[in-house]
Structure 1
């Protein structure tokens, strides 16, 4: 028994004018409508038939894919191309996959007359939470390309910071992993032999006292053996975290707990925290500028910036600003918040007074961006000395743990020789 075709879904194979082969699915009422839509895209249809496979369940679009989509959409809309036509071209350029399927679905909804912001809002689970609101703001201000270009700059900044952060931490992590391997090797193969030799010598020197106490393994050796016994368990836990991290990260993202963890655990850190805070403030100021330029009033733009930052602590600071504005208080009097320093509301107040708030916010965003990148550039200079001290401590422990019992063995051999 054959599987029933999915109503309104048609699989096709076609060619472009340049002879490039394309295949995929398209939604339509019937084959004729599907053919007309494909021909409107200047495609030569080779084969089209009802699809027997349901469309895959949409998933969230990855960061690189979303950045590419946003940049292409900004370029095409800036060139004056209609959004639905631009999305069709983007889908053709992508070819296949879940991103192309999502873009085609949005284009089809636009062709049916659905407003742009509503079409993206219907797929908001596949985009960053603030994206459809930025689209709506861009449509309202008649400056969609400017909004999209500004968002692209912010996403590129975030990507550079994440990449630089990983480069800064990858070397220390690899060195620590190497040290753990050395310690486990010593604890499993070298120190047990030293312990056996030491026990044999103790049996030979039964009753011998040194400095008023019984002879035993030095403390450094015992500590090294203790650490080596627990390292395999720590390694198993680490591997389990690495394997389960994608599922845990997905669950945290869906519940919003990932940002809470960042605010509570990462921001207070002495070395990494300032970089993350500066990055959050740069993104918040940039999103606030986008909202103001899009024609939103300041409280609505502050809410948009809070959504864009995805930081509960920074969103709470934004609500403090909104509350002060609604109460008629001056922003200069607002003290520092959980993430936001007092200089930000003071600068916003000055920008409002001068009538050039977007320029002020752009300057703030650029300033915090430079701070984040400068502090990030200092991370290797801070982490390297700390790592050297840590390495020196481990090496000292290894040397003391190995050489102290050997020195004791040599001393006892001399005494009983």
Structure 2
């Protein structure tokens, strides 16, 4: 399946845009018309290689903390009664989610194109792992997406805190190990040769 960018007109004359996964451009046009939109343009996106996607995740991509903040904020908005598209639109402008904002914009476009939230999240496997997708799918099917996202956000926050605690606890032993290694290296390269001479 390929991904297509599209632009279309609503019944009010507003221009909307987004992305749709489909086999052909005709399938994209059919889906746009099914949503009662008038297609203006469809362009096939060139997908990045897996290596490029991995590099983007490591250099300048969203952090796990951004995903956790997004999850908790989305749960709060849904619990307050906001619609999913409106919640994503609000979050796309939120500075708290950092570098995740472009992805949130793409999620909103996918949902406006008729995809479920789980399907839209599946396009971003580096940020949203399989377990995350499975829980969101269950939340959508059961009608309790806000509750599932709330529990998922709390669990991610707890895991992030545990990860930070573990890395903080490992810093001192690693420092001692590095210092001891340098002392031993100095001993073998400088002191020991003097004794042998």
Looking at structure 2, the residues matched to 101 and 143 of structure 1 have their Cα atoms a distance apart, in angstroms, of 26
In the alignment, is the contact (CA less than 8 A) between 2:118 and 2:137 conserved in 1?
yes
Looking at structure 2, the residues matched to 69 and 179 of structure 1 have their Cα atoms a distance apart, in angstroms, of 43
* Residue 141, structure 1, aligned to residue 142, structure 2: yes
User: What corresponds to 1:28 in structure 2?
Assistant: 7
In the alignment, is the contact (CA less than 8 A) between 1:76 and 1:86 conserved in 2?
yes
Greater Cα offset, 159-168 or 112-121: 112-121
Looking at structure 2, the residues matched to 124 and 179 of structure 1 have their Cα atoms a distance apart, in angstroms, of 41
Looking at structure 1, the residues matched to 178 and 122 of structure 2 have their Cα atoms a distance apart, in angstroms, of 45
Q: Aligned pair in 2 of structure 1 residues 119, 193: CA closer, same or farther (>3 Å)?
A: closer
Q: Aligned pair in 2 of structure 1 residues 182, 140: CA closer, same or farther (>3 Å)?
A: same
- 3-state DSSP class of the match of 1:28? strand
Larger Rg: 1
Looking at structure 1, the residues matched to 153 and 97 of structure 2 have their Cα atoms a distance apart, in angstroms, of 23
Q: Return the TM-score normalized by structure 2.
A: 0.65
User: What corresponds to 1:159 in structure 2?
Assistant: 160
In the alignment, is the contact (CA less than 8 A) between 1:71 and 1:152 conserved in 2?
yes
User: What corresponds to 2:190 in structure 1?
Assistant: 189
Give 5+ residue unaligned stretches, structure 1: 1-6, 9-26, 39-53, 197-417
Equivalent residues in 2 for 1:71-90 (5 A)? 71-90=72-91
**Alpha-carbon distance, 1:126 to partner:** 3.9
In the alignment, is the contact (CA less than 8 A) between 1:124 and 1:132 conserved in 2?
no
Looking at structure 1, the residues matched to 7 and 99 of structure 2 have their Cα atoms a distance apart, in angstroms, of 19
Q: Deviations over 1:335-355 (max 9, x none)?
A: xxxxxxxxxxxxxxxxxxxxx
**Alpha-carbon distance, 1:115 to partner:** 2.8
In the alignment, is the contact (CA less than 8 A) between 1:109 and 1:119 conserved in 2?
yes
- 3-state DSSP class of the match of 2:157? helix
Looking at structure 2, the residues matched to 55 and 100 of structure 1 have their Cα atoms a distance apart, in angstroms, of 21
**Alpha-carbon distance, 1:127 to partner:** 0.9
Equivalent residues in 2 for 1:244-255 (5 A)? none
Looking at structure 2, the residues matched to 34 and 107 of structure 1 have their Cα atoms a distance apart, in angstroms, of 20
Looking at structure 1, the residues matched to 169 and 125 of structure 2 have their Cα atoms a distance apart, in angstroms, of 33
User: What corresponds to 1:99 in structure 2?
Assistant: 100
* Residue 65, structure 1, aligned to residue 44, structure 2: no
Q: Deviations over 1:280-319 (max 9, x none)?
A: xxxxxxxxxxxxxxxxxxxxxxxxxxxxxxxxxxxxxxxx
Looking at structure 2, the residues matched to 74 and 95 of structure 1 have their Cα atoms a distance apart, in angstroms, of 15
Q: Aligned pair in 2 of structure 1 residues 160, 136: CA closer, same or farther (>3 Å)?
A: same
Q: Return the TM-score normalized by structure 1.
A: 0.33
In the alignment, is the contact (CA less than 8 A) between 2:89 and 2:108 conserved in 1?
yes
Looking at structure 2, the residues matched to 122 and 56 of structure 1 have their Cα atoms a distance apart, in angstroms, of 11
**Alpha-carbon distance, 1:181 to partner:** 1.3
Give 5+ residue unaligned stretches, structure 2: 18-44
- What is the total number of aligned residue pairs between the two structures? 156
